[in-house]
Amino acid sequence: MQLHPGMPAPDFTLYDTEKNQVTLSSFRGKQVILLFFPMAFTGVCTKELCSVRDGIAVYNNANAVVLGISVDSPFTLAKFKEIEQLNFPLLSDFNKEVSTAYGAIYDNFIGWMKGVSKRAAFVIDANGIIQYAEVLENAGELPNFNAIQQTLAA
């Protein structure tokens, strides 16, 4: 199912890099940016998440929380977060349930990997409603961060 602005965001609970449970609905009252990404330690994913790291003040000033999500294990994500000094939570969707619920999963990735998260961005408002949705088919493209920031400001 494809998610669109105006729809309620599917709630979920995933584990972060410290193996703590993180539930989307616990952020009610704040805007949330969900950034699905294919795989830690890959070039485009590193570029994307490091650009968010470097511009985190923009999101903090908009009373927004950034959550990065991939199907990597919490252990892989912890090492990636440490090496890249990422300043926002990374969540493991190892069982692929959340990526699937958000329509952000490849059946086949680079020909032989199954069930890898697509690069996608969602902005969820303080009431849990999707305000922005972008799911990219080409993993080499980046989300439209200008549109994300405009959505946060609206």
Catalytic residues: 45
CA nearest to 14, candidates 64, 69, 80: 69
CA nearest to 93, candidates 84, 104, 85: 104
**Which is it for strands 105-106 and 116-117: parallel, antiparallel or unpaired?**
antiparallel
Contact 105, 94 (CB under 8 A): no
CA nearest to 24, candidates 33, 35, 13: 13
d(CA 66, CA 53): 10
Residue 62: both structure tokens together = 């908009």
